[in-house]
């Protein structure tokens, strides 16, 4: 499984755009990049997934450069409710390669 590196924590004010970058230098050709969000006292939940270029959904955007060695999760105009831990995962995600979570990035949104 590709190892990922992301910042331990980030702070942001409400209304700002937040970009969290994840480094995954040894990503394999068939690997996907997936981001999860975890609120306190809850299990993680899927936010977004991509393979290359840009993916956007109602929650976030995911930017993946051509070499795929990094990815950036972008949260537009964050609110206090976006305070959570964000995990970047890389892998094929077949049944024989379970998802392995790192420590994630703890995002604190300040009023």
Residues of this chain that bind another protein (CB under 8 A)? 30, 32, 34, 36, 41-46, 49, 85, 87, 91-96, 98-104
Contact 47, 59 (CB under 8 A): yes
Residue 78: CB minimum distance to another protein, A: 21
The residue among 19 and 97 lying less far from another protein, judged by its C-beta, is 97
The residue among 70 and 105 lying less far from another protein, judged by its C-beta, is 105
Residue 19: CB minimum distance to another protein, A: 21
In terms of Cα–Cα distance, which of 88, 85, 82, 89 is closest to 111? 82
């Amino acid at each position: 499984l590709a190892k990922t590196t992301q910042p331990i924590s980030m702070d942001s004010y409400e209304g700002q755009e937040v970009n969290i970058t994840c480094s995954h230098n040894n990503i394999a050709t068939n690997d996907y990049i997936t981001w999860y969000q975890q609120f306190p006292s809850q299990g993680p939940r899927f936010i977004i997934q991509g393979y290359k270029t840009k993916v956007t959904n109602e929650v976030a955007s995911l930017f993946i450069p051509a070499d795929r060695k990094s990815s950036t999760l972008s949260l537009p105009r964050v609110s206090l409710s976006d305070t959570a831990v964000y995990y970047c995962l890389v892998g094929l995600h077949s049944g024989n390669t379970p998802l392995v979570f790192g420590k994630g990035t703890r995002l604190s949104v300040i009023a």
